[in-house]
Each structure stands twice: as C-alpha cells, then as structure tokens.
Structure 1
Amino acid sequence: MSESNSERDGNRKLLVVGLIIVLLSINGILFYMQHQTKKKIDQQDETIRLKNTELEDRIKQYEALKADFERQSQELQGMGLTNDSLQTKLAALDADLKKLRSFRNTSFSLADQRKFKQRAANFEAQLKKKDEEIARLKEDNEALYGENTNLKTTQNQLNDTIITVKRNNQALSQKVAIASRLEAQNIKVTTINQKGKEKEDSDEEFRAKRVDKIKVAFRLAKNEVAEKENKDIMMRLIEPDGAALYNLSTGSGTFMVNGQETFYTAKRDILFDNSGQEVSFIYSKGGPYKIGQHTIELYAEGNLIGKTTFTLK
C-alpha cells in the first residue's frame, strides 16, 4: 500500500514537473513571439519615422527650390526680361508640393520617394544652369551699362562741341554779315532847278523855292566779303519835321529795318561788282520843298550804309 502511494506521489511530481516545463515552454514561446512582435512594430515605427522625415525633408527641399526659382524670376524682371520657362517650372513645383503635402495623410512609398528625389535633382540642375545664365546676363548688362555710360559721355561731349561750333558759326556768321555790309562813301547832295541846272551845297544853303529835284550820288566801297549780286539800295529823304517823303506814284515803298517796317522814298536795283561803282538817285517831290535841314539815309539789305544832311532855306 505504501509502495503504491509512493508511486502515485512520484507520478504527481513528474506530472507537475512536466506541467511546469510545458508552462515555461509556453511562456518562452509567448515571450519570443511578443519580442518579435515588438521588434516588428519598432521596425515599422522606424520605417514610418524615416518615411515622415524623408517626406518633410523633401517638402522643405521643394519649398527652397520654389523660392530660388522665384528669385531668378525677380532678377530677370529687374533686368527687364521675362522667361516663360521659369513660370512653367514654378507651376510644376507648386503641383509637386501639393502632391508631397498630400502624402502626410497617406503612404509615402519608396517609389514615390525615388520619384520626387529624382525630380528635385533635375530641378536643382536646371536652377544651377539658370543661375549661371543670369550671372552672364548681369555681366553683359554691366558691360553694356559701361558702354552706354561712355557713349552718353561721348555724346554729351559731342553735343557740347556741336553747340560750341554752332555758337562759333553764329558768331562767325554775324561777323561775316557785318563785314559784308555795303558802305556808301563820298555822299554828295545837289539840287536841280526847273531848267535842269545842278547846284552843289558848297557851304551855302540851297534855296527851297528854286529846287525842282534832289540828286544824291555816292560810291559803294569795295568789299571782298560781300556777294557779287543784285542788291536793292533804298534812299530815305527825311524832311525837317522828321517824316520821310513817301509817294507810291514815284516809287516809294516799305522795307524792314531791325524787325520794323520802314518807309523809303526811292529804290535802286544795282548789280554789286565790288568795283567801287558810282550810284545815284534823282528824286522829284512834285511840289515845294520845306525849309530847314533834310536828312538822307541810304540802306542795303536792311542795314544803314550811309547818311548825310543838307539844308534848304
């Protein structure tokens, strides 16, 4: 009986030990499975973290690329240039940024990562190429600006020279105009009576009642500057009251002197030949002359070329 009990106790111990071993095995298996599950979850979390980091880094990269392309566009506008390709790139970057930001709510797969990484590399290459192009354009603009500045300086100097030349020419023209003025020399006034007899005023006054005509004779001085051409000589016979004799029927008219319309008594059209030629006027008033001092003025080309007086008593 005692042997039977001992055997049963031994079997129980074996059973307990077996159960313990089984439980320990199950616990070991469960621990292993839990560890593996945790490891897998950690790996998944790390993968998600890396994907999120990659996504945010890519978004930042695209935002920086957009800012650089906008800078390039502003630099070109500052130089007065436009570039449609830059606007196209900016539109493409906006579309990519919108897509990248949408991945925050969805999966950012490895394929997507490779795709946007490659696109970013292409954008960076285009950005670098455009920066080099803009740098060359700036150098060209600076060179052109320098050339334009030099041209403006040269042009200003040329304008100053032209103005100086014009002033000199004007001054020279004025001098030539003055030098080319005719001069009436040896002006002599004689009176002619009704019988045609001339009388020269030799320190004696003419008698007004005996005067029928007035003769004015003079010589044109030689002038190498004056043009040899037809010239009009105007004679003004000014009476003692200061009025010039004027009668359209005897050939009187008007001409300009210093910008003012002036009456002349008689006119002669002569061919100036620079020979010291003699010129004369014979004027008939057609009525009695006034007593007092009369003045003779001679003009050519609007300039006073000679003047003298005579007296009738």
Structure 2
Amino acid sequence: MNTLEKNAKPKQEETPMNPSEKRSNRKLLIGGLLVILISINGILLYMNYQKKEKTEEQAEVIRVKNSELENQIKVYEALKADFERQSQELQAMGLENDSLESKIAAITSDLNELRGFRKSSYSLADQRRFRDRASAFEKQLKVKDEEIAKLKEDNEVLFTENTTLKTTQNKLSDSLTTMKSTNQNLTEKVKVASRLEAQSLVVNVINQRGKEKEDNDNEFKAKRVDKIRVLFKLAKNDVAEKEPKTIYMRLIEPDGAALYNLSTGSGSFQIDGEDMYYTAKRDIVFDNTQQQVSFVYDKNAEYKKGQHTVELYSDGFMIGKTSFVLK
C-alpha cells in the first residue's frame, strides 16, 4: 500500500430515504403548490372584483348621465310646450310677441343639441349649462304667465264693459228702431190723412162746335164728342200742406187701356213702386180753399163706344174716380 492510499480517508456512503420521508416531502411540495395556486386565485378574484366594481361604477355613471339627459330633455319639451301655449293664448287675444317666438326657437335648438348627446358624451359641464338655461327659461315663463293672467283679467273687464255697452247700444238701437217705426207709422198716417180728395167729380163732353154738355146719368152719344172735360173740387184738408201738387188723370177706354199719347202730354208715374200710364196731368198749388180743378182732353180721334172710366191720382193715392158711357 502506497503512501496515497494510506493517507486517503475512506468514502462515506449516502443513506437512502425511507418511504415516510418521501411522502412527507411530497406533501410539502403539494402544499406549497396549493398555497401558490390559492394565492394566484385570490389575486385573480380580487382583480376581477375590482374590475367588476369599476365596470358597475361606470355603468351607474352612464345610467345616471342618461337618466339626467332624458330628464333634461323632458324639461325642455315641457318648456317648449308652455311657451307655445303662451304664444297661442296671446294670439287668441289678438296679440303677437316676437320674444316668445325667439324663445321657442332657442329651446328647439337646445332640444336638438340635447338629443344629440344620446349618441355622444353628456358631460357634467353640459349638465350644469343646460340646467342653468332651463332655470332661466322657467323664470321667464313664470313672468310671462303673470303678464298673460293680467291681460286676461283686463280683457275680462273690457269684455264685461263691452257687453254692457253693447246691451245699452242694443237697447238704444231698439228704441231708435221703435221710434223710427213709430215715426214711419206717423208719417204714413199723416201722409194718408193729408192726401187730397176730389169731390163733386163731373164729366162733361164738348162737341166740335165747342158746346159743352152735361148729363146726370153720364151718358153721351159718341159721335158728338170732340173733347172731354173733367171737373172736380179739392176737399178741405187742414192736415195737407199748402204746396204745389201734381194731379194725374187716367182716361180708361172700354177695353181697359188708358188713353196714352205723348204728343198730348201723356206719360207715366209710380204707384206702389210700379209704373202707371196717365192720360194728362195738372200742376196746381193746393191752398185748402176747396179750389176747382178741371181737365180738358182732346183725343184727336173718334172715341170708342162703351163705358169709360176716369181716375185721378196725387201723391201716390187715388183721389177720385167716376165713369161715363158713350153710346
């Protein structure tokens, strides 16, 4: 044995693990792994919880903002409806207000902008801005409602006063109508009372020699008649005015037609709004002295045989009538 072999220490042999030590080490390893897995899961759960909570907060913020936006839109819609109501009320009273129209236009513009936020971000600054504008509009609305209420009250007073005036006017109008009717009736009565009356109406005939003949029976021979004289006197009438009068004479032949010849002074006059032909006329001045009036009529042709009628008119009334016969 050499020196190296003598000085070398003997090699120590490793003691092999027994089964129980191996199981213990395995358990420790598994336990460590479980702790690590549980820790990781805990961290993941915590991170997921934080993320969910943040998501819910964001969703709540969005929901609140959306709710605020929809409420603000409803406020502006109500404001627009109220201002339009005010405009209609003023128009119903016959009034116009350009400032209301400008407010309605401004609210409409704001509404369009608010509705646009449904597709974009509606910030807190936007919320404050629109709340402030809505608050200002509400104050203006209240002031205008008070003005309209006062106008309505004033209009009600005016309406009552106008109704009273109209009632008074109607009463006056009725009184005037009654007075006019009464005056018209009186005028008609005076007109009737003042009409002339032909009395002692006589018809004589004048032959070609100028000799005048009268007959109590008013019967004459036709062949001897050249002219006809109609005589009468105007009855006394204290109601009639002393003034110029026109008396119309109608000489009606047996066939019912009045003799009419423009060359001998015939024409037409009105009775009850209708034209009537006359044979001759006389202009006189009524003096209420029972004055005598006469007509002399020359036909310038042969007279027809049969009954003739003489009618006298003045101021729209028949004042006398008689007849005679030509045989």
TM-score range, shorter chain: 0.5 to 0.7
Letter in 2 for 1:108: S
The yes-or-no answer on 1:64 pairing with 2:78 is no
Query: d(CA) in 1 for partners of 2:106 and 2:219?
Result: 108
The yes-or-no answer on 1:108 pairing with 2:119 is no
Does structure 1 retain, via aligned residues, the 8 Å contact 2:253–2:309? yes
Write the deviation string for residues 134-188 of structure 1: whole angstroms up to 9, x where unpaired: 3333334444444455455555555555554554454444334433322111212
- Could you tell me which residue of structure 1 aligns to residue 188 of structure 2? 174
- Could you tell me which residue of structure 1 aligns to residue 317 of structure 2? 303
Alpha-carbon shift at residue 201 of structure 1 (Å): 2.1
- Could you tell me which residue of structure 2 aligns to residue 90 of structure 1? 107
Identity %: 53
Does structure 1 retain, via aligned residues, the 8 Å contact 2:194–2:240? yes
Letter in 2 for 1:85: S
Query: d(CA) in 2 for partners of 1:243 and 1:99?
Result: 96
Query: d(CA) in 1 for partners of 2:136 and 2:282?
Result: 95
Q: How many residues align?
A: 278
Distance 1:93 1:164, change over 3 A: farther
Q: Which runs of 5+ in 2 are unaligned?
A: 1-38
Write the deviation string for residues 179-207 of structure 1: whole angstroms up to 9, x where unpaired: 33221112122333445444332458445
- Could you tell me which residue of structure 2 aligns to residue 270 of structure 1? 284
Pairwise mapping of residues 19-98 of structure 1 onto structure 2 (< 5 A)?
A: 49=60, 53=64, 56-57=67-68, 59-80=70-91, 81-82=96-97, 83-94=100-111, 97-98=114-115
Pairwise mapping of residues 130-279 of structure 1 onto structure 2 (< 5 A)?
A: 130-150=144-164, 153-154=167-168, 156-157=170-171, 160-161=174-175, 163-203=177-217, 205-279=219-293
Does structure 2 retain, via aligned residues, the 8 Å contact 1:190–1:216? yes
Does structure 2 retain, via aligned residues, the 8 Å contact 1:58–1:117? no
Query: d(CA) in 2 for partners of 1:88 and 1:199?
Result: 104
Alpha-carbon shift at residue 306 of structure 1 (Å): 0.4
Query: d(CA) in 2 for partners of 1:196 and 1:106?
Result: 127
Query: d(CA) in 2 for partners of 1:176 and 1:231?
Result: 16
Distance 1:278 1:222, change over 3 A: same
Distance 1:272 1:47, change over 3 A: same
Write the deviation string for residues 108-129 of structure 1: whole angstroms up to 9, x where unpaired: 34x5555444334323322322
Distance 1:190 1:302, change over 3 A: same
- Could you tell me which residue of structure 2 aligns to residue 7 of structure 1? none
Query: d(CA) in 2 for partners of 1:232 and 1:128?
Result: 80
Alpha-carbon shift at residue 291 of structure 1 (Å): 4.8
Distance 1:149 1:97, change over 3 A: farther
Query: d(CA) in 1 for partners of 2:62 and 2:254?
Result: 120
Alpha-carbon shift at residue 73 of structure 1 (Å): 1.0
SS of equivalent to 1:274:
coil
Q: Which runs of 5+ in 1 are unaligned?
A: 1-26
Letter in 1 for 2:317: N
SS of equivalent to 1:273:
coil
User: TM-score, length-normalised on structure 2?
Assistant: 0.64
The Cα RMSD (Å) is 4.2
Which of these two proteins has the greater Rg computed from alpha carbons?
2
Does structure 2 retain, via aligned residues, the 8 Å contact 1:230–1:269? yes
